[in-house]
Structures are given as C-alpha cells and as structure tokens.
Amino acid sequence: MHAPLASPVTVSPEGFGWLAIIRIGLVQAAIGALVMLASTVLNRVMVVELGLLAAIPAGLVAWHYGVQLARPLWGHASDKGRSRTMWIVGGLVVLAAGGLLATQATLMMEASLGPALALAIFAYALIGAGVGAGGTSALALLASGVAPERRAAAAAVTWTMMVAGIVVSAITVGQLLKPFSPERLMTVASGLALVTVTLTVLATWRLERQAGRFGHAAEGEAAPDLRAALAEIWHETAARRFTIFIFVSMIAFSMQDLILEPFAGLIFGLTPGESTQMGGQHQGGILIGMILTGVGGSAFTGKRPDGLRVWVIGGCLLSAVGLAALGLAAVTGPPWPLGLNVFVLGFGNGIFAVAAIGAMMGLAGAGKTTREGVRMGVWGASQAIAFGLGGLLGAVGVDFARHALGADGPAFQLVFAIEAIAFVIAAILAVKATGGAAMRAGMIQQDREVFA
C-alpha cells in the first residue's frame, strides 16, 4: 500500500476512524453556523429591523446558491492540489470573511442602501464560494477516507453535527444579541467567525494523513483536466443518473421549505408559535431518520455495494407518502393529525438524505481517472441549484395556484402532489443510480488505488 502523500507517517489501512469522522463533522457544523448567520439572522434584521422588502435577503441567499455552481471547479482543484485540508480551511476563512462583510453591509443599508447592496452582493458571493470550496473538499475527504461499511453512519454523523451546529449557533447568537444593537451584532458576528475558523483549523490538523487505504490515488497518477473530468462523469451512466437523481430529489425536498408554515396557518389556523413548533416536529423527524439510517445502514448493509439503495428508495417513497397525505390534509383540514403527518415527512426526508450522501461517497471513487473532489463538486452544484430553485418553485407555485383556483386548499394540494410525484421519480432514478454495478465500480477503483 502506498503511503499518504501528505506525510510519510504510517497510517491505519482502515482509513478514518470515528474520531476522524467526528472531526469532519465539526467542519460541517462550522459551515452550518456561518451560513445560519447570513440566511437567518441577517435576513430577519433586513426585513424586521430595517423594514426592507423580503425579496432583498431572499435574492442574496439565492445568489449565494448560484455561486456554488462553481463547486466542480473547486473540487477539481482540491483533487489536483492533493491537499484538501488547505481548501477546507481556506473555504472557511472566505466564508467567515463573507459573513462579516454581509453583516457590515446589512448595518449600512439604513443609511446608504445602494452601496450597501453592492457590498452585500460581493459578501454573499464570498459566502457561496466559501461554502462551495470548504464543503465540497470536506465531503471529498470524507468520501476518500472512510471505509464502505461506515459510509451511512459517517454521513449521519456529519449531517447531524451540521444540523446541531446550526441549532446551537442560532440559540447562542440569539441570546448574545439581547438586547439588540448594531454594535452588538457586529461583535457577535466577529466572535462567531473567529470560533468557527479556529474550530476548523483544529479539526483538520493532520487529519488528511489518516485517510489510509481509501485516500488519494497513487502519487504518479495525475488528475485529468476539468473538461476531461466533467466529460468522463457525464458519459458515465451511473454518475449521470445520480446527478439527475440529486437534482430531482432536492427540488422535491426543498419545495415545502417556504410554504409549510403558511399552509399550517391558512388551512389549520395555527398561530406563528404553533406553526414554528410544527416546523420543529419536521426537523425532529429528519434528525431521527438520519440517526436510524446511519445505524441501520452500517449494521445491515455491511460491505454490499448496493446496500444503501433500499434506504435511498425507501426514504424517497416515504417522503412521497408524507407529501400525498399533506395534499389530503389541504382539503380536509382539522382534525387531520398534522403534527404526525409532518413528522413522517421529515422522517422520510432524513432517511433519503443520509442514504443518498452515503451512496454519493461510494460513487465518488468510481471514476477511471476522476477523483472524489470533482465528483462531489458536480453533485454539490446540482444540489445547490435544486435547493435554490425548489424553494422558489414551491412559493411561486402556491401563489399561482391560489390565484388560478381561487381557493387555498386545492392550491396547496396541487403543489404537494407535484412534490410527491417528484419524490417518486427520484426513487425510480435511484434504482439504477445506486445499483450494485455502480457501487461495485467504486469499490473496485478503491482497491486498485490500494495496490497502485
């Protein structure tokens, strides 16, 4: 077995252990915390404290997703540079700088809106670039360093920690901003940037050398140029299908983001506090689904190349059932068990999300010459486009349907039905995209790298 490129130190042939996986999870938590500042705190300040149109922060958040179309470029760069740690830490530094500039731009908007918007556009571009570079490289490092039987659990651990990072930072920042003042907001944002960058540096210190047998390709094997890498991925049937699967499933996943709480208020008469609590039930279902898939995916699939396929398909279909039930609830109203319905939807979302990420890590090593970074970049770009587009389609779709149908219930039912159909289509795509042949190719390629 060849030695890792980053160091001549002898490493474990089993790749990343659980501590290393948790360390990558800390990076994900840091990314989630910084994105929370831009997408939640600054969003609220613009709309509530400054009285700006909600379209302004929504457009800025959409712009940061658009910048992430360059994820394949950053992933390919981390493949060629053979140092993903540099890209992870660098991405977090850029993300933190973008968060600070976005905070400064927000505070300038009351006095000088034009220059502040220009600065905000630049800041959110940095946020998108930081998320893309750091997040793609972190996932590529995880994919290249974790053993096949640990992929589902690794995906569950890292994504659960990302959610935890969002929750913990939101609660902490919320407390530190009391009482609110512009100066306090800037101080808290600076502290958050310092903590997250420091955490990332500590979490990734000498981590890459532990990738072991599942790490980078042989030292003498050069990565192809970006155009050749993208061409190889697109002409590979499994990779192409998986890209389309990610796009369709993430549109279905994100379409309800902006309409679920309005639905609860308009159809069920829930107060803002009650609808927020219902949103918590949805997130709780996602978390439990993630944990169950992480444990079950590792315990019952082992090293089978297509072991996660049943979890991916099952999660998509359960999500479709939850959305179809919400469609019935839209025309039924109380006493429909809305809380239970939303929990089931979140449970299915959590199962499919973790299983899909685990399968993604398996396919990331399936290329003849391409490496994990560019493949994770392609799928990350597909996810970013779909996530931004899905929320917009859901909100615009409900507005259009309410106007066309003249009633709230049938309008929500139509949109939920479209989402459910999208999840069924995603399940069909997943049958081939995560099949045994595709996953086996990834395992064979990794074995070749061991003896290169």
Tens of pLDDT, residues 55-97: 788 788 888 888 988 888 888 787 776 678 999 999 999 999 9
Same-domain check for residues 285 and 183? no
What is the pLDDT at residue 118?
96
Tell me the mean pLDDT in the region 170-182: 84
pLDDT in tens, 215-258: 444 444 556 677 777 787 778 887 888 888 999 999 999 888 77
- What would the DSSP string read from start to end of 353-416? HHHHHHHHHHHTT--SS--HHHHHHHHHHHHHHHHHHHHHHHHHHHHHHHHHHS-HHHHHHHHH
Same-domain check for residues 200 and 276? no
Does a structural domain hold residue 22?
A: yes
What is the pLDDT at residue 452?
36
What is the pLDDT at residue 128?
94
pLDDT at position 397 over 80: yes
pLDDT at position 438 over 80: no
pLDDT at position 163 over 60: yes
Q: Which stretch of 24-28, 46-50, 192-196, 397-401 has the lowest confidence by average pLDDT?
A: 46-50
Same-domain check for residues 113 and 245? no
What is the pLDDT at residue 283?
79
Asked if 251 and 386 count as a contact pair (C-beta separation under 8 A), the reply is yes
Question: Would you place residue 6 in the very low, low, confident or very high pLDDT band (cuts 50, 70, 90)?
Answer: very low
Does a structural domain hold residue 371?
A: yes
Apex 397 CA angle, 395 and 398, nearest 5: 70
Q: Is 45 exposed, middle or buried (0-12, 13-18, 19+ CB in 10 A)?
A: buried
Same-domain check for residues 236 and 211? no
What is the residue range of 284's domain? 221-452
- 365: which residues sit within 8 A by CB, 6+ positions away? 143, 144, 214, 372, 442, 443, 445, 446, 449
What is the pLDDT at residue 190?
96
| Tokens encoding 225 | 């140029």
Taking the chain, what is the end-to-end CA distance rounded to the nearest angstrom?
A: 7
Does a structural domain hold residue 205?
A: yes
Question: Which of 158, 181, 216 delimits the end of a domain?
Answer: 216
Question: Which of 158, 186, 216 delimits the end of a domain?
Answer: 216
Same-domain check for residues 133 and 187? yes
| Tokens encoding 92 | 């977090």
Same-domain check for residues 338 and 405? yes
Phi, psi of 53 (to 5 degrees): -65, 140
What is the pLDDT at residue 224?
65
Does a structural domain hold residue 2?
A: no
Alpha helices in 236-371 (DSSP H): 237-254, 260-268, 272-301, 309-332, 338-363
Q: Which stretch of 227-236, 318-327, 415-424 has the lowest confidence by average pLDDT?
A: 227-236
| Distance, CA of 415 to CA of 396 (rounded, Å) | 10
What is the pLDDT at residue 45?
85
| Distance, CA of 185 to CA of 176 (rounded, Å) | 9
Asked if 162 and 22 count as a contact pair (C-beta separation under 8 A), the reply is no
Question: Would you place residue 4 in the very low, low, confident or very high pLDDT band (cuts 50, 70, 90)?
Answer: very low
Same-domain check for residues 144 and 113? yes
Question: Would you place residue 316 in the very low, low, confident or very high pLDDT band (cuts 50, 70, 90)?
Answer: very high
Residue 61 gets the label, from left (phi > 0), alpha (psi -120 to 50) or beta, of alpha
- What would the DSSP string read from start to end of 183-222? HHHHHHHHHHHHHHHHHHHHHHTTTGGGGGGGSS--TT-P
Q: Quick one: what percent of the chain has pLDDT higher than 90?
A: 34
For residue 313, the Cα-to-chain-centroid distance in whole angstroms is 19
| Distance, CA of 395 to CA of 273 (rounded, Å) | 21
Alpha helices in 82-150 (DSSP H): 84-108, 113-145
What is the pLDDT at residue 417?
96
| Distance, CA of 323 to CA of 337 (rounded, Å) | 13
pLDDT in tens, 331-360: 999 899 999 999 999 999 999 888 888 787
Same-domain check for residues 367 and 279? yes
The number of folded domains in the chain is 2
Question: Would you place residue 11 in the very low, low, confident or very high pLDDT band (cuts 50, 70, 90)?
Answer: very low
Apex 390 CA angle, 384 and 393, nearest 5: 140
What is the pLDDT at residue 211?
66
Please report the sign of the dihedral spanned by the C-alpha atoms of residue 383, residue 388, residue 391, residue 392. negative
What is the pLDDT at residue 30?
95
Tell me the mean pLDDT in the region 391-408: 87
Question: Which of 216, 237, 261 delimits the end of a domain?
Answer: 216
Question: Would you place residue 26 in the very low, low, confident or very high pLDDT band (cuts 50, 70, 90)?
Answer: very high
What is the pLDDT at residue 236?
80
Q: How many CB atoms lie within 10 A of CB 300?
A: 12
Same-domain check for residues 249 and 319? yes
| Distance, CA of 297 to CA of 150 (rounded, Å) | 8
Q: Which stretch of 73-82, 197-206, 411-420 has the lowest confidence by average pLDDT?
A: 73-82
pLDDT at position 450 over 60: no
Does a structural domain hold residue 323?
A: yes
Asked if 42 and 52 count as a contact pair (C-beta separation under 8 A), the reply is no
Does a structural domain hold residue 1?
A: no
Same-domain check for residues 188 and 136? yes
Does a structural domain hold residue 182?
A: yes
Same-domain check for residues 252 and 395? yes
Same-domain check for residues 320 and 182? no
Indicate which CATH number applies to the domain containing 189.
1.20.1250.20
Tell me the mean pLDDT in the region 146-158: 77
Asked if 145 and 211 count as a contact pair (C-beta separation under 8 A), the reply is yes
| Distance, CA of 56 to CA of 221 (rounded, Å) | 47
| Distance, CA of 247 to CA of 265 (rounded, Å) | 29
What is the pLDDT at residue 222?
59
Does a structural domain hold residue 399?
A: yes
Closest CA to 278 of 258, 261, 290, 257: 261
Question: Would you place residue 7 in the very low, low, confident or very high pLDDT band (cuts 50, 70, 90)?
Answer: very low
